[in-house]
Structure 1
Amino acid sequence: MKAIVYSSPGDSSVLSLVDRDPAEPGRGEVRVRVEVSGVNPTDWKARVGTTRRDDFAEIVPNQDGAGVVDAVGEGVTDLRVGDRVWLYLAQHERPTGTAQEQVVVPAARAVKLPEGVDMAVGASLGVPAMTAHRALTVHAHGPARLHPGALEGRTVLVAGGAGAVGHAAIQLARWAGATVIATVSSPAKATLARAAGADHTIDYTSEDVTAQVGEIAPDGVDHIVEVSIAANAEADAAVAANHGSIAYYADDGGDTFALPIRPSFAKNLRVQGVLLYTVGADAWEAAAADITAALEDGALPVGEEAGLPLTWFPLAETAAAHDAVEQGTVGKVLIRV
């Protein structure tokens, strides 16, 4: 089978296309014939060594993907050969990700893809959608799970509504019944955020976010999904409702942040860091189940018309796909395996 591998950290030139024998699934594992591999910022960061990297002799990159089960290991009862699945954390604490024709993963990380849902949608979930799910479920007063009506009456502020996590957060929040405000950096990105389902968009490069949010939600916003806590902590504290949650999942804009003391304790704010790789199996399984339910309801489409433009590369050009993500390509970068 064809696979993309690297043996030492570095820029995208360390990636090479090779032939390898497909692995056999062990107990509790399945093998998936990958159709589409999704690329996330953590994939290129792991490759260059800025995030944790286990000492494997050879690594196949990429955490997310979608495909068809083609072999089932001992003890697996809920998946069978021929099942269409979406994959998450395929390479987490393992050397083999989805940038290859066949990948072996723990069965829990291969989730049935509902009938009629495209493989491109499946490969666009994983890290972004599960991160968004976690960010929306850390409020002190819940909900711990998402479903239609779970966020009814709540207002959600999504910073960076045109990004992959922001896009998923908008879609999941709207599916759960919330009113969604998204901040963006251009009219084109505002169009994408509205296409994803945002009720309101605010261009933070030309508008006063605090004033605009105050007009839309005079009692404050209940959930904030934050991509740049270093830049936005003061504004987040100002616009948050009493008992609001600020869930930040990235370090865009700096390594540290300062939160104003009086408004944050006066409002009983919960400030929650979110890193999908370390939240644990319970949170993964809850997110996978709720995301699949949203898929069944048609709530997570992708493509420019749905607010998430897709940029495609063939497997042999995985290095270019990694570069595209590193350079900030808007939307989702996918590899056709």
Structure 2
Amino acid sequence: MSVIDLKLLQETKTLERCPFPIPAGWFFVDYSKNLAPGEVRNVFLLDQEWVLFRGEGEEGKAGLSDPFCPHLGAHLGHGGKVVGDNIRCTFHHWQFNPEGWCKDVPYAKIMPPVCKKQPILRTLPVIEKWGMIWCWYHPQAEAPQWELPSIPELESDDYIEPRTGHWEVNTAVQEVAENGVDFAHLKFLHGEPEIPPATTEFKGHEIFTDMKNGYIKGHQCGPGLAIFRFDHEGVVATMVSYSVPYTREQTKMNMSFTHFKYPEGTKEAMVAQHLVNHMVGEADGEESAGFESVDFIVWNNKKYRPNPLLCDGDGPILQYRKWFKQFYPGNEENPNL
């Protein structure tokens, strides 16, 4: 009788659901239209509370700051006010710009010398693109290491107004994105007729995938953005996914679905709409299941195995995990990730 490896059989007792820190990268905060000029709002994402604000006027700049004033610790999101593009603390009216520099201490004859040397309030770099507010997060507050790509479908009036969806899932953002290279689950979980042939290229902070010889082309840009284009006989529909970690164990999934403005009633328009419906598991005459009905069952209840048992049909799972470690600065050699 062969010897049983009890460690393997009992490993689940020591496994964690989500052993990951918050990754570095660009992350979606909100839609630009939802933040009014002069507004101050408390938001929770990236495993902490932040203060989101917008400068006064139509061109007011958006900012995302740590909640607590570096002076005496008052919460900027409770009583704080926007002055110009600055956030002003209610306690003593110190003002900070969206980059975290102290711009005014109204009663000080001499400001603390450090105020001239560096930002003194932790803020995240913020840009607005595609009608969305994006922030750059890095655990050591390092500057952005790449730019967000161009997405023509969200930048041109030639495409329909995107249909959007939002879902909260109880797992880490890495686990959600891993599905993009887990090609086998498309057959066994989603009901696709076969495991699609696929190729994957890992390149810096990006991943490029090609499934079914061009039927689905994916482009993941860091941990917080992925674009998938579905092509059927030259008609293309696009899904843009922009997930953000709320905590280490909860992710908010956000998606936009769009396609070219084909003339109403044409075959192209009907095919494009069918492709969008296919993405969300609502296509007529198809038995495949959308992620909301099946993936959530897995994500909400699974544990992460850092040393999974894999076989030849599983896709580039290990390569993906090695790629993702670059977004955990200081943890690249952590064997539990």
The TM-score with structure 2 as length reference comes to: 0.28
The TM-score with structure 1 as length reference comes to: 0.28
> Between Structure 1 and Structure 2, whose CA radius of gyration is higher?
2
Which structure has greater helix proportion? Answer: 1
